[in-house]
Structure 1
Amino acid sequence: MALSSPQLQKFLLSKIHCNYGYNKNARKEVVVKGGKGRCCSAIAIDVPSSLTSASGIRWGSIKLQGAREEMEDDVVIVQSDDLNGFSFAAVFDGHAGFSSVKFLREELYKECVAALQGPLLNGKDFKAIKNALLEAFESSDAKLLKWLETSEEGTESGSTATAIFLRNDVLFISHVGDSCVSLSRSGKAEVLTNSHRPYGNNKVSLQEIRRIREAGGWINNGRICGDISVSRAFGDARFKTKKIEMLEKGVEEGRWSEKFASRVQFNGDLVIASPDVSQVALGSDAEFIILASDGLWDYMNSSDAVNLVRSQLRQHGDVQMASEALAQMALNQHSQDNISIVIADLGQTDWQNLPLEQQNFVYELGQALATVSILSLGIWMSTLLSS
């Protein structure tokens, strides 16, 4: 295992005790203080925020407002007897208001389950599962756009969504936007999703930029039409059903000229809700999954996140406390965004009795360095006093 970054080593050495307000007996609420002192609670449907499923998977979740003026993230975890041993979890990251998230946290799960009833119960036909999830996401987006228009509630609102169906042997991911899923295999981080952003030189970003331009859009300062920095999302009607209105409004606001607008020809939606769908086999080396919004990943890489969670689980085995510690670490890294995290411990690792070579020795190194620092300080003070 590679050593962690200096920031993680500093965190481990500092032995910070965060004000979690954690109550193991509480249902549906976990409170963590951070950012400007605001508190937000994780949402769980029909289950407490720290859970153990029938398959032995243990769940933890947390969402923090951070330094933002509004909380536009949400977290959903669902366990049901109708899912053939699967559990569902999703992270939503809203923008231009909370309206789209409010709609999706209820409707997306329903659409996915309705579309997956046959394929998911069989669990062997990935093509059918992929098509079902594509249908569910696109159907949810169409319903959301209609709801936003008829309800007049945040018509410019939008949201990313990364959803998983998890069983202890297999994981299905359906992903739109810039949240991320990371898997720990024997302590090694595997990033399982790619961010949908209209900037950067990676393969996915270049594909998104090409798609947007072919649809008649343009990129300005890493934003579609100088506005939005994610290229796949739910809602965002101004880049889908109301593109002409968006163009006309830009002329009125002086963002571009009427001559420029007259040359624009739209051939498709600039922002889409078509998800990347993937299947991941989970063997005996799979330890836990981290699903989180970009409020974590923009300030912390996947290796450091996995190392921190491993250290936490090795210390106390509590996945909820590990979720809270990871969120606090993002705050310590000066995250300015909303932070939403779901961690699923697959229940295949005996954290208290890991063989020595499998221990997260980054934490052990931090402990050793802390001891050395204390001893060095003592020697320095003794020398000072004796002189």
Structure 2
Amino acid sequence: MALLSQQLQRFLLNPVDSNSCSKITHRKNLLIKDRGRCCSAIAIDASSASLTGASGIRWGSTKLQGPREEMEDDVVVLRSDDLDGFLFAAVFDGHAGFSSVKFLRDELYKECVAALQGGLILKGNDFDAVRKALEDAFENADTRLINWLETTGDETESGATATAIFIGSNMLYISHVGDSCLVLSHSGKAKVLTNPHRPYGRNRVSLQEIRRIREAGGWISDGRICGEISVSRAFGDMRYKTKKNEMLQKGVEEGRWSHKFISRVQFSADLVIASPDIYQMAFGSDAEFLILATDGLWDYINSSEAVTFVRNQLRQHGDIQQACEALAQVALDRGSQDNVSIVITDLGRTDWQTLALQQPNFMYELGQAFATIGRLKSEFYTINDSETHMTLHTRSHT
């Protein structure tokens, strides 16, 4: 949630830096499964830390565990012939264990390639066809994941968000589930390309999610579905899909609600879904780079500040991997309590050496800070769901 520069944070909060590790390991044609404090991203056919793709596109990727006890994020960056010239990247943010992320890291790309008929549908530039293919891919991956969790019995309550991007020479496709975020820099200005799926807030997407959950028979308490999960779209999470009744009974056993309460609950659909938002965007001449990251970054750095930071990094040294690692480190230095995973894509259209450094606008950030404080007051409104709320909820549907 914090959207402030270090200068402004010192002015308002005087934050304390966190210790972290920023060493990144890369191997050609290997997936490094280091569950320690720092891990590398998957980098297929990569001969260096900075991947170079079609039309001069360069990639940097990193992930840091931060102060969390477990690393539940992962990053995939792929350059292959499967998508007929399109490049693929995704970030995954897990919860209640790493199992869902582990499955998606290995399988979501395969589902996308199959649904997109390689790159044939992407090349056809038919958005309706692309949207249908990616919706099918995400649905199939979720169904397979739930079956796999039930079969293995490993971290059966685990879930994961996923935001995947497909980049061509002049076109971008996004398939998004959860609360990670993708930001485009165009001429130094930030453009947010995704909306978080969260069951709180007064923005259009949040209100739609709240309405969908209630119509499915669920409720929101303290900004969480059934008082437990704060993201409304995710893979896995079978207790809010195929195991909803078992979730209710477990709540009774744990004393979180009564038999009388659950007798009034009538589910008509899944509370958490893996249906993605699909976006298409043509790159203009002013498109510079993309930042795709989990909420461990965006809760402490706003989109404009992240764009300015990366832009200055590229102006100084031009190393996309170094810029990526530095941005992740900033989030930890500002006190991020979450795993931080980032992919930065330089679209190869900018001569960084010719650009002047951008200076932080302190007054602008101060205004942003007070706007954020005001927005948080409204976004963290919650309806205290109880038996009384459920009675009102039921009546609203009669």
Name the TM-score, length of structure 1 as normaliser: 0.85
1:350-361 equivalent positions in 2, closer than 5 A: 350-354=351-355, 359-361=356-358
For 2:181, the aligned partner's letter is C
- Mapped pair 1:54 → 2:54: yes
Whether contact under 8 Å (1:28, 1:49) holds in the other structure is no
Q: 1:279 to 1:247 in 2, by over 3 A?
A: same
Whether contact under 8 Å (2:199, 2:223) holds in the other structure is yes
Deviations 1:196-231 (A, max 9, x none): 000111111111000000000000101100110000
Report the counterpart of residue 71 of structure 2 in structure 1: 71
Report the counterpart of residue 374 of structure 1 in structure 2: none
Offset at residue 42 of structure 1 (A) = 2.2
Report the counterpart of residue 84 of structure 2 in structure 1: 84
Whether contact under 8 Å (1:164, 1:172) holds in the other structure is yes
For residues 236 and 46 of structure 1, the distance between their equivalents in structure 2, rounded to whole angstroms, comes to: 33
For residues 276 and 49 of structure 2, the distance between their equivalents in structure 1, rounded to whole angstroms, comes to: 27
For residues 60 and 165 of structure 2, the distance between their equivalents in structure 1, rounded to whole angstroms, comes to: 15
- Mapped pair 1:332 → 2:329: no
1:178-189 equivalent positions in 2, closer than 5 A: 178-189=179-190
Name the TM-score, length of structure 2 as normaliser: 0.82
For residues 203 and 364 of structure 1, the distance between their equivalents in structure 2, rounded to whole angstroms, comes to: 29
Report the counterpart of residue 235 of structure 1 in structure 2: 236
Whether contact under 8 Å (2:90, 2:165) holds in the other structure is yes
Whether contact under 8 Å (2:4, 2:301) holds in the other structure is no
Whether contact under 8 Å (1:9, 1:362) holds in the other structure is no
- Mapped pair 1:132 → 2:129: no
Whether contact under 8 Å (1:29, 1:49) holds in the other structure is no
For residues 247 and 4 of structure 2, the distance between their equivalents in structure 1, rounded to whole angstroms, comes to: 44
Q: 1:8 to 1:310 in 2, by over 3 A?
A: farther
For residues 200 and 85 of structure 1, the distance between their equivalents in structure 2, rounded to whole angstroms, comes to: 39
Aligned residues: 347
- Mapped pair 1:362 → 2:363: no
Question: Which one has a bigger Cα radius of gyration?
Answer: 1
Q: 1:364 to 1:218 in 2, by over 3 A?
A: closer
Report the counterpart of residue 113 of structure 1 in structure 2: 113
Report the counterpart of residue 300 of structure 1 in structure 2: 301
Deviations 1:326-381 (A, max 9, x none): 00110111100000000000000000123xxxx3321799xxxxxxxxxxxxxxxx
Report the counterpart of residue 37 of structure 2 in structure 1: 38
For residues 195 and 233 of structure 2, the distance between their equivalents in structure 1, rounded to whole angstroms, comes to: 11
For residues 22 and 122 of structure 1, the distance between their equivalents in structure 2, rounded to whole angstroms, comes to: 34
Whether contact under 8 Å (2:22, 2:38) holds in the other structure is no
For 2:53, the aligned partner's letter is S
Which is worse superposed, 52-61 or 95-104? 52-61
The residue matched to 1:94 in structure 2 has which SS?
Answer: strand
Deviations 1:30-57 (A, max 9, x none): 99xxxxx932222223435420013210
The residue matched to 2:200 in structure 1 has which SS?
Answer: coil
The residue matched to 1:362 in structure 2 has which SS?
Answer: coil
For 1:44, the aligned partner's letter is A
For 1:312, the aligned partner's letter is Q
Q: 1:327 to 1:277 in 2, by over 3 A?
A: same
The residue matched to 1:283 in structure 2 has which SS?
Answer: coil
Whether contact under 8 Å (2:31, 2:43) holds in the other structure is no
Q: Considering only aligned residues, what root-mean-square deviation do their CA atoms show, in Å?
A: 2.4
The residue matched to 1:82 in structure 2 has which SS?
Answer: coil
1:238-387 equivalent positions in 2, closer than 5 A: 238-354=239-355, 359-362=356-359
Whether contact under 8 Å (1:21, 1:30) holds in the other structure is no
Report the counterpart of residue 156 of structure 2 in structure 1: 155
The residue matched to 2:230 in structure 1 has which SS?
Answer: coil
For 2:357, the aligned partner's letter is N
Report the counterpart of residue 211 of structure 2 in structure 1: 210
For 2:302, the aligned partner's letter is N
Whether contact under 8 Å (2:97, 2:158) holds in the other structure is yes
